[in-house]
Amino acid sequence: MEVLVKRKDFKVSTDVFHKICREFKSELKDAKKDIEKLNEIDYQYNNKIVYLDKLLETIDGYMEKETVEQETKNLMVAYYGNPVVTIELCLMALMKGQMINLVIDDMCLGVNKLIVELYKELLKEYKIFDVVSFSNYESKEVIEENKNYFDKMFFLGDKNLYNICKHISGTTSIEYIPYNIIDIYCEDEDFYDLAREIFNYCFENSVESEIYEDMSFDEVVDIFNNYGENYCSIILTKNKELAERFKKEVNSKFVYANENPFKDENLRIPEFF
């Protein structure tokens, strides 16, 4: 596991931050063929690909933002490995002067490694060193061995990994951040096609999703509340009573009944550090 072992204060001006964003975008455009090749390899392992346009759009979202002065901390963020999230985390950390150790859960490993390598080389041109690391998750024991280097550990949308690591002993704070997961309950068979359309849209936009069907209402609510990601849940049903109960009883951050789950831009990363 690659870990930043020495905390150091650093800050970048808003002007420099915008320059890095522009150059990062240019580097990714130049790496288009490499990204396409790595996509082919990554797809063989986890059936996920990333679209270059999505990566570039993510950078565009930071082109007008201003940097923030705050105390530098050495943070660990574990997540599934969506490359769009990788870019967001890199730029969010730079914008706020935070050191960040990225730990992915075996998704899009090739594209993620390329993104971080390009980013680190770009930072070197601005004399910014050792503020981002990247690793693929190995085991709870490896994280526990390195926990004292981190001021805080976040698990972003990866509840499985959080449940594995949440009992790591010590004083380092551990927090789960629900994000980027949509649970779809198809209560009526007439909505099967719609459920799969939502699932396919999620796939195309690097959003994790799962369809639950042929299950009772109470069983699904129990699964969502006790074992789900508690981020975004939707029911597709003709039963108005079940729709209202779903909104009241499901504890996810975003809950929808026969509605567009993407309408509130809930797929943006919350600014949690």
- In this predicted structure, what is the pLDDT of residue 49? 81
Residue 151 to residue 155: CA distance in whole angstroms: 14
Total domains, the chain: 2
Q: Final residue of a domain: which of 162, 177, 192?
A: 177
- In this predicted structure, what is the pLDDT of residue 265? 59
Q: Final residue of a domain: which of 177, 210, 239?
A: 177
Instruction: Quote the domain boundaries for residue 126.
Output: 14-177
251 with 223, same domain: the answer is yes
User: How far is CA 262 from each of CA 229, 242, 255, rounded to the nearest angstrom?
Assistant: 17, 21, 11
- pTM to 2 decimals? 0.84
Reading the chain (273 residues) residue by residue, the pLDDT tens digits are 999 999 889 999 999 999 999 999 999 999 999 999 999 998 888 777 888 999 999 999 999 999 999 999 999 999 989 899 999 999 999 999 999 999 998 889 999 999 999 999 999 999 999 999 999 999 999 999 999 999 999 999 888 889 899 888 777 899 998 887 899 999 999 999 999 999 888 877 767 788 999 999 999 999 999 887 788 999 999 999 999 999 999 999 899 999 988 876 556 677 888
Q: At 20, which CATH number?
A: 3.40.605.10
187 with 84, same domain: the answer is no
138 with 18, same domain: the answer is yes
28 with 96, same domain: the answer is yes
- In this predicted structure, what is the pLDDT of residue 229? 75
For the chain, give the longest Cα–Cα distance: 60
Q: Nearest 5°: CA angle at 155, between 150 and 160?
A: 130
Task: List, edge to edge, every strand of the sheet that includes 208-213.
Answer: 208-213, 181-186, 232-236, 254-257
63 with 141, same domain: the answer is yes
24 with 66, same domain: the answer is yes
Give a yes or no: residue 7 inside a domain: no
Q: At 225, which CATH number?
A: 3.40.309.10
Q: Tokens representing 28? A: 């990714």
- In this predicted structure, what is the pLDDT of residue 264? 61
233 with 195, same domain: the answer is yes
Give a yes or no: residue 30 inside a domain: yes
18 with 117, same domain: the answer is yes
Contacts made by residues 65-70, CB under 8 angstroms, sequence distance 24+: 65/17, 65/95, 66/14, 66/17, 66/95, 67/11, 67/12, 67/13, 67/14, 67/17, 67/94, 67/95, 67/96, 67/97, 68/95, 68/96, 68/97, 69/11, 69/97, 70/96, 70/97, 70/98
- In this predicted structure, what is the pLDDT of residue 63? 94
Q: Final residue of a domain: which of 125, 160, 177?
A: 177
